[in-house]
Structure 1
């Protein structure tokens, strides 16, 4: 697995990078050498945030944890990634359809998820109008939603604006094929 470390408002020390690499190595047998992991550490006033995003075989796995200490946040985010993978192991095995992909069973008393556990409880259709990103954010705010889907008038693609937890807005755009 290829690792990339990013420190925001902090210079990451080599021992933290080594610890993170060691902890992420437990996922090596699941993802293989072509996987890429990005570890982002952000230091804020009273806490530190560790975010890990793993890109593998067209899938994205992401977890984030906050704690007073960087190493505690790292432990929490690794545990969260492991839980995410265990919860979805049937779907992942089906997607990759390889007999070698064996995701370990959880030792904890985690709830088992069924094959069809994602249940759509509401389906909504609406016209997607061309608009600018600023117009989409304004529309989202007027509706008091957390996200808003629209057709970007600059690119012609379907995009999504969303409100970020830490403040500000995000924009999701399709990657060119």
Structure 2
């Protein structure tokens, strides 16, 4: 497991770094190698925050916790990651895994609002290329929940068509499927 630890507003501590690495070893029983983990430990006045981003085999899980003690924050965030991974594994048991690794790459572009309002040439603020993996609708919803995103673009593994799943304001989920005429 590759663990990157970042300290914000505090001195680097080998004890905290080792403690976080030791606690993150527990997640290996839920997910296969290779695993990369990014740990952010932050202190703001009396708040001690631990944030972990875990990436393994196409799955990304994020969690954050804050307490009055950094060790307790690390314990809480690792417990949260374990719960998410346990739930993810239980959901995967009901689905058959994707057999092939066909993935598409799509470029995401963000434009400034001023350029759209004034009918000028759009100004690109940020551009990002993302990989779209084939998965079922249920897997896409699960992945969207794990990433704490409002929408997810994916390729439907049965139809091989790009779809979008999104979280509605009423708490339910919506699915956008293109129609071919």
TM-score range, shorter chain: 0.5 to 0.7
Contact 2:30 2:86 in 1 (8 A): no
Structure 1 position 12, deviation (Å): 2.6
The answer (yes or no) to whether the contact 1:2–1:33 under 8 Å persists in 2 is no
Q: Write 1 or 2 for the structure with the bigger share of strand.
A: 2
What's the Cα RMSD here? Answer: 3.4
Query: In the alignment, what sits opposite 1:52?
Result: 52
CA distance in 2, matches of 1:131, 1:28: 37
Tell me if 1:41 matches 2:41.
Answer: yes
Paired position in structure 1 for 2:101: none
Distance 1:33 1:156, change over 3 A: closer
Structure 2, unaligned runs of 5 or more: 99-108, 130-150, 154-181
Using the TM superposition, give the Cα deviation of residue 15 of structure 1 relative to its aligned residue in structure 2, in angstroms.
1.0
Instruction: Rate the CA distance shift 1:34–1:72 in 2: closer, same or farther, 3 A.
Output: same
Query: How many Å separate the matches in 1 of 2:74 and 2:110?
Result: 40
Q: Shift of residue 97 of structure 1?
A: 4.0
How far apart in 2 are the matches of 1:49 and 1:131? 30
Aligned 1:147-158 pairs, distance under 5 A: 154=124
Instruction: Give distance in 1, aligned partners of 2:96 and 2:14.
Output: 34
Q: Flag the structure with more relative contact order, 1 or 2, with Cα contacts below 8 A and sequence separation at least 6.
A: 2
Aligned pairs, how many?
115
* Structure 1, unaligned runs of 5 or more: 99-129, 140-151, 159-171
Alignment partner, residue 12 of structure 1: 12
* Equivalent-residue separation in structure 2 for 1:25 and 1:16 (angstroms): 14
Task: Say whether the 8 Å CA contact 2:51–2:65 is kept in structure 1.
Answer: yes
